[in-house]
Amino acid sequence: MDYQEAFLQTPLGTAAIKGHARGLVSITVVDADAAAAPSATIPAALAVAAEQLQEYFAGERTTFQLRLDFRGTAFQQRVWQALLDIPFGKTCSYLELARKLGDVKAIRAVAAANGQNPFWIVVPCHRIVGSDGSLTGYAGGLWRKKWLLEHENPYKQQLLF
Report yes or no on 158 lying in a domain: no
Query: How many independent structural domains does the chain possess?
Result: 2
Q: What is the pLDDT of residue 68?
A: 95
How sure is the predictor about 7, in pLDDT bands with cuts at 50, 70 and 90? very high
Kindly give the residue spans of alpha helices, DSSP state H, lying in 5-154.
44-57, 74-83, 94-100, 107-115, 142-152
pLDDT (mean) for 109-118: 94
Q: What's the pLDDT tens digit per position in 69-99?
A: 999 999 999 999 999 999 999 999 999 999 9
78 and 122 both lie in a single domain: yes
pTM of the model as a whole:
0.88
Query: So what's the pLDDT on residue 36?
Result: 73
Q: Is 14 inside any structural domain?
A: yes
Annotated catalytic residue, options 6, 8, 66, 125: 125
Residue 131 sits in which domain range? 74-152
CB 83 within 8 A of CB 128: yes
- Is 92 among the residues known to form the active site? no
Q: What's the CATH code of the domain at 93?
A: 1.10.10.10
